[in-house]
Structure 1
Amino acid sequence: MNLRDIGATDLATYHVRLHETMNEIATFARQIGGDGSVINFDNYQGIVSFVNTSHVHWKFLFINALNHTVYVVNPSKSSTEQTESRHAAKNFSKYLKIRRECHGKTEWLNIKWKGGVLTHPTQQDASSCGIIVTMIARAVMKAFPAVPVISFGTSKKEMAIEREVMGAQILESSVFDEANNCAMCAMAKPIGSGPPTTHWGEVVRQDQKELSDDCACAPDKDKEDDEDHNDPPLA
């Protein structure tokens, strides 16, 4: 659930709505026989998360219970991080009060939260926000409980290398069976009337894989050829 999904224009509205959703889940749990219990914040010293704005941009959220500070980190150059962090801290305090009312939970409730700013690199393009917030999160978790001064390169070449590194780490940690599962839909059986299993096709690039012809998810090559032939001539 992101800001656009709930019609929110700021992090305050977003987090209040997020709490309401959590409360609905807890209420449902009680109705089906569960205890509706929620997490005990006293077992933790911080929270890291990511916020997607307008389906196009990622920001990093870091709530540090040790120094009572909320950080909203924008990977783009921004002069409003302090304001956004202060706003998020105020809203998080409201969330904790609502949590007490709904669940009787009081962890972190008496903390006076403030907004802070992390020193961090910024993106040099329009597409590396997700990579950068992930790298910032990694730096924060490695340095915790210290608050780091974060530094790494963000050039186009450096971001391309980091994408490959992250992709390899995800694949190495995945339970995906690349010998028997579809490279597009990840299913062992295709969606439709195809063979019971699908396989990886020829690797045409280091960072790109092509489906084999028998995959139900693969595009109809004959149809694509027809569409290509019907393209209007270039002016």
Structure 2
Amino acid sequence: MAGWLGEQEWMAVALSLRVAFWATLLSLPVGLATAYVLARKSFPGKQIVNGLVHLPLILPPVVTGYLLLLTFGTKGPIGGALEQVGIVLAFRWTGAALAAAVMAFPLMVRAMRLSLEAVDPKLEEAAATLGASRFWVFVTVTLPLVLPGILAGAVLAFAKAMGEFGATITFVSNIPGQTQTLPSAVYAFLQVPGGESAAMRLVIVSIVIAMSALILSEWLARRLARRAGGA
């Protein structure tokens, strides 16, 4: 692939994979905890929390990116504090990962929440009657049953992070080799004469990566489901 793609194109693909990987990985524990709370707990303001979780799906991505810039930029309340300890997110690849994670978070949470709601509570109650703690019931009973849902959420988040454009370009701009992800590179190439061939190569790479992720997730989900059923 490195020989087929130009240097700028390859850097965009590599950066997108890096951004999507870290966005997905760092979102997983937070997403699972959020999905568990929304699926299993009742508390005042639950609908507000649910609305906030899904807000990135409703807002225009540019608005989300602007809010991230206001919050995590060097003059923002959180970004300014982070800058004091040497952490800068705006106009950095780490900021692209944050933007991608925020935009992908609702899809991840929804997949995990549906999986948690589908678990038969009687199975958990049976384990609890045998003396298992709530945490041990979750680890040994609930978690294996919801692994396909966790995997589905992770794949959806990864795919969304790979394709994120609006929030990313607003928060971290489109700097080749630093913040230019695959969608940003496609957009940049389409703005210059003769850039259509490079843009098409990146489109093909996007399709290959997305299809590969979906096929792999389906295969893993079937294996996990068979293993859970056999257990």
Structure-2-length-normalised TM-score? 0.29
Structure with greater strand share of residues: 1
Higher relative contact order (CA 8 A, sep 6+): 2
In proportion to residue count, which structure has more helix? 2
Larger Rg: 1
